[in-house]
A and B are shown apart, each in its own frame.
Chain A
Amino acid sequence: MKVDKVEALLDVQNLKVHFPIKKGLLSKTVGYVYAVDGISLTLQKGETLGLVGESGCGKTTAGLAILRLISATSGTVTYDGKEITRMAGSELRPLRRDLQMIFQDPYSSLNPRMTVNQILSDPMDIHGLYPGGARRERIAFLLEKVGLSSEHGRRYPHEFSGGQRQRIGIARALALNPQVIVGDEPVSALDVSIRAQILNLLIDLQREFDLSYIIVAHDLAVVEYICNRIAVMYLGKIVENAPYRNLYTNPKHPYTQALLAAVPIPDPKKARKRLILEGDVPSPIQPPSGCHFHPRCPYRMEVCDQKEPALKDLGGGHEVSCFLY
């Protein structure tokens, strides 16, 4: 990619994750789910990158593959100059410290049989960090940073509300002093009045610890609030990638335009022209030919079902993959 001016902290090139579909007695592979189908991204130090799209677009799979929580079919992920996609487990372990994750569901991502102290200790045990008395201090520090108190450490996850549990999940992600945190729908399971608390917390922690985030989400207003740059995914591919201001004020791809137009605005005065897409997102098992979006696209041209458009830079870091440009 062309963004090599500054060495990116994380550089994803042509990443693909294809899940085989197996059938029959001999488990023959009869097809593939093209969950992530060749995406390229960079994440700069201190930046927040948003990955947005509808269910089945591959955004979560992309997040997991970038952290190597699932293995990529092909492509590379380079973190801090080191290619991690094919690294052996022992080589990878020290890097795991730097790459952490926050999960969507604060109910199922915390072990109900462990106290908060144990939950936060676990990653430090695995990596042999903060032994002895430093451990307690570290846990108290983490709890305070996410807005809880050290007495919460003795309690179990079920004793907390959803927002508090998400704070525990964030404390766990911070435990090892990471560089990059991938947040998979970090606020979508929370009550509306709690979301702002968690979003502001993420912003504050980023400033304080110089973190870089990849935020995977479907809520475009949430992503706009915390991201510097946003990549829109559709059926395993990035259709548009732009700085947040460009994306929201001047969306180029017809899918991005439709997505933005579909979001209900909490302001009854703003009557808007509605661009309503027809149909559903097609199956990633047999994606449409050419541009994957062509069957739903209002500006479909002849070329669209024959050739796949490449990501094209329109200047100012605004990339779009559409034959209109």
Chain B
Amino acid sequence: MSSSPYLLEVQALKTYFYTFYGVARAVDDVSFQLAPGEVLGLVGESGCGKSVTAQSVLRLIPEPPGRIVHGRILFDGHDILAIPMDEMRSIRGKRISMIFQEPMSSLNPVYTVGDQIGEMFSLHQGSSKRESLGRAVEMLRKVQIPAPERRVHEYPHQLSGGMRQRAMIAMALACNPEILIADEPTTALDVTVQAQILNLMMQLRRDYETAIIMITHDLGVIAETTTRVVVMYAGKVAEEAATPVIFEDPKHPYTRGLLRSIPKLGERSQGQETRLSEIPGMVPGLLDLPSGCTFHPRCPEVMGICREQMPDLFEVEQGHLVRCWLYGR
């Protein structure tokens, strides 16, 4: 039906929150595309709008105070912002699913893991109770939980953090979705467990060709898992490029600053006694954004125009977009 090469196209999305103190433009004119089987990274700091973008795609924005005020989200050629909610429910969890940062608060504590994974099958595919349970065991085995026949009858609190996140992944992948949105999937985990979970996700992606949107603030996770990166700052896309390009030839002063400000493992030990460069100032609050380019008060290359006018996304080379006055007018 669709002629687009993309599975998902987010076009000029604006998600605002109407609060007592004013309008928070959490996502303000964000566009990106996701091709089948691709791993797209959404990276940024707290409040940059990366999670709200993901929640908008699934239409999980609490309304009020939030509202998607503008834009289209084309999934397989259809604008899923325009379809009725019950139709959305048949997409959510089945064709687009999500895993969250904190597995303890996103699993229901009063149902067993098996009940919760099995529900995906009974809800979306009309499986019987027994059949659902059997398939839940299969899913747990796929995400490498030891003794799945026993674990399937356990409650979330009986599992360790890593196992809970595996159970979440099992649930998210139960219906073999076309898109998996992972919102900080490993931030709450220890590094050795993080390595296990990332490895598992990449393996499942190879096996099922699921496209992944990886949301994180960790540039290491971005480098190791993604193919394209969207860097967000204060609700807008600051830069977008293929992952190697972002790391080797970043253009936006924010991306550059971010890459230079993180300590890199092994660097100092191998004799590079360099001082980390800092991005001065702090992440601005959404209710009190600076004029012009929202990064200008922290930018080392600020010019007159930056204080007055928000730059467009300029294409510096094919597929490399930068929202900065250094690259266009």
Please give the residue numbers on chain A whose beta carbons come within 8 Å of chain B beta carbons, in ascending order. 54-55, 161-164, 191-197, 199-200, 203, 218, 220-222, 224-225, 244-245, 247-249, 258-269, 274, 276-278, 280-281
Contact = CB atoms under 8 A, between A and B. Distances in A.
Chain B binding site: helix, strand, loop or mixed by DSSP?
helix
Nearest to A225: B263
A203 B273 CA distance: 13
A244 B196 contact: no
Contacts of A263: 191, 220, 265
Given A191-B283, A192-B45, A268-B243, A220 B264 contact: no
Given A200-B278, A248-B269, A264 B198 contact: yes
B268 A224 contact: yes
A86 to B, nearest CB: 34
Contacts of A195: 261-262
Given A218-B190, A222-B263, A266 B220 contact: yes
Nearest to B242: A268
Nearest to B188: A55
B266 A274 contact: no
Chain A binding site: helix, strand, loop or mixed by DSSP?
helix
Interface in B237-277: 243-244, 247-248, 257-259, 261-270, 275-277
Interface stretch (B27-35, B168-176, B221-229, B320-328): B221-229
B191 A262 contact: yes
Given A266-B222, A267-B247, A277-B192, A193 B265 contact: no
B199 interface: yes
Contacts of B161: 280
Interface-central residue, B259, B263, B280, by most chain A CB under 10 Å: B263
Contact of B266 (A55, A192, A224, A269): A224
B263 A265 contact: no
Given A192-B219, A264-B223, A269-B244, A277 B283 contact: no
Given A164-B282, A192-B45, A249 B261 contact: no
A224 B190 CA distance: 18
A221 B221 CA distance: 14
Given A221-B262, A264-B225, A274-B199, 7 more contacts: A163-B282, A194-B282, A196-B278, A262-B191, A265-B220, A265-B223, A280-B161
B310 interface: no
B163 interface: yes
Contact of B192 (A161, A244, A262): A262
B67 interface: no
A262 B264 CA distance: 13
B218 interface: yes
Interface string B122-144: 00000000000000000000000
B191 A193 contact: no
A264 B221 contact: yes
B190 A55 contact: yes
Given A191-B283, A193-B258, A196-B279, A220 B265 contact: yes
13 contacts: A191-B45, A192-B45, A196-B276, A221-B262, A224-B269, A245-B269, A259-B191, A260-B265, A262-B192, A268-B223, A274-B195, A276-B196, A280-B162
A266 B262 contact: yes
A274 B196 CA distance: 10
A200 B276 contact: yes
B196 A277 contact: yes
B106 interface: no
Contacts of A281: 190, 192
Nearest to A147: B280
Q: Which 5 A-B pairs have the closest CB atoms?
A: A264-B220, A248-B269, A262-B195, A54-B190, A196-B261
A193 B298 CA distance: 11
Contacts of A194: 279, 282-283
A295 B219 CA distance: 31
A248 B126 CA distance: 53
Nearest to B162: A280
B11 interface: no
Interface-central residue, B46, B247, B283, by most chain A CB under 10 Å: B283
Contacts of A259: 191-192
A12 B114 CA distance: 48
A194 B283 CA distance: 9
Contacts of B199: 274, 276
B247 A266 contact: yes
Contacts of A222: 263
Contact of A192 (B192, B193, B243, B258): B258
A267 B245 CA distance: 11
Nearest to A280: B160
Nearest to B260: A196
